[in-house]
Amino acid sequence: MDAAVIGGPGQVLTEDEVTSFIGDSLSGAGLEGRSVCVIVPDATRSCPLPLLLTAVHQALDGRVSKLTILVALGTHAEMTPDQLRTHLGGEYDGVLNHEWWKPDTFADLGTISADRIGEISDEMLRDEVPVKLNRAVVEHDVALVVGPVFPHEVVGFSGGNKYFFPGVAGQEVIDFSHWLGALITSASIIGTPGITPVRALIDEAAALIPAQKLALSVVAQSGTNALHAVAFGDTISSWRAAAEVSAQTHVRYLDHPVHRVVSVMPTRYQDIWTAAKGFYKVEPIVADGGEVILYAPHVTELAAMHPEIEEIGYHCRDYFLGQWEKFRDLHWGVLAHSTHLRGAGTWDPATGEHLRVHVTLATGIPEDVVRRANLAYLDPADVDLTAYENDPDTLVIPNAGEILHRLKH
């Protein structure tokens, strides 16, 4: 089915327009008497979630047999009750964190065969992948994804079925999909329109979900609570329509590479695991030998939920591939994150690692931790943003992490 769409590039929707569109869309979706699981993002995404959930609740409350809200944490930290109230815009019954750390959270949906993985990945990988999903999705008649679409370092554009995998998925699919993205490399896949190999893997896994899959995919104005567009349909058509708008809205093109980028990270990113988006979104515009500074004085740790990154450190893809026997048994999702923050590079057993771009953390993380992780350190107290803004070799990006920067070519 084709998605219904309101808004578009350059437009800003009113709250009334959004509420009416959601009400009309859901009232015509045949949901009466059915149980509905609403899958929403956590707080690491810009999105007017209170507005969206109010509209969804108004449209469905009393008409469906059961309404559950499931927060797609992926492997991010659990949200507290107070955080959830703020994030969702109120007190709702039936709110669940995706408790990915608990084995009994999951239902087993089957497997994707090694042959099919080979086809999807162009033979970069050939392993059978078990598909596990939060059982709340499986135990409802309808899964309704509500969330934003942005350029994304692992899959091309976020949203749609990505809210299931990795949003509320088991570790196997998360690790596998992220490592496939890392093999392709963030700079090659981020902001790529259409069905990337990682998107194909996610769609293949989503086809195993027994529930009807619908989505309200939104295109947010980064850094605000405004929306450019909303698309409603199944999780594939809705995502596709929103990704087309995001591609025209969330990508900034530069004529020339820049020597230095200072990414000023907002507080929605609480550790480098999430704040690393300030690197992913600018890597394509940095000149060879250039530098990206992640300025985030509020960040005090590399990865709240993945302490092993402190032991592994940050390295390019070829560093791991060249020593695969040493690293293959670690979580591939952690290896993928490591490569995404170091970007392009090479590794040679004789001469070691050679990286295209320098990465510097100006954060609250102790200097010894930063340097041990193979990153450069800068005291955030020494950062003069005005001086950087006046430096012709430096691009300062406020509210970094969502707008992709690319070169015109």
Domain boundaries, the chain: 4-249, 253-407
Decide: 234 and 263 in contact? Cβ < 8 Å. no
Q: How far apart are CA 346 and CA 270, in angstroms?
A: 30
Decide: 292 and 360 in contact? Cβ < 8 Å. yes
Strand partners, 295: 264, 362
> What pLDDT is attached to residue 304?
81
The mean pLDDT of the chain is 94
Q: How far apart are CA 114 and CA 106, in angstroms?
A: 22
Residues making up the chain, counted from first to last:
409
> What pLDDT is attached to residue 171?
86
Decide: 406 and 284 in contact? Cβ < 8 Å. yes
Residues of the chain with pLDDT under 50: none
> What pLDDT is attached to residue 193?
86
3-state helix, strand, coil in the chain (%, to 5): 35, 25, 40
Q: How far apart are CA 56 and CA 114, in angstroms?
A: 39
Name the one residue in this structure whose structure tokens are 């008649």. 141
> What pLDDT is attached to residue 215?
98
Q: How far apart are CA 150 and CA 141, in angstroms?
A: 28
Superfamily of domain 4-249: LarA, N-terminal domain (3.40.50.11440)
Helices (H), 48-141: 49-60, 81-88, 114-120, 135-138
> What pLDDT is attached to residue 42?
85
Decide: 117 and 186 in contact? Cβ < 8 Å. no
Q: How far apart are CA 187 and CA 174, in angstroms?
A: 20
Superfamily of domain 253-407: LarA, C-terminal domain (3.90.226.30)
Structure tokens at 333: 């999702």
Nearest alpha-carbon partner for 333 in 312, 352, 363, 353: 312
Q: How many CB atoms lie within 10 A of CB 58?
A: 13
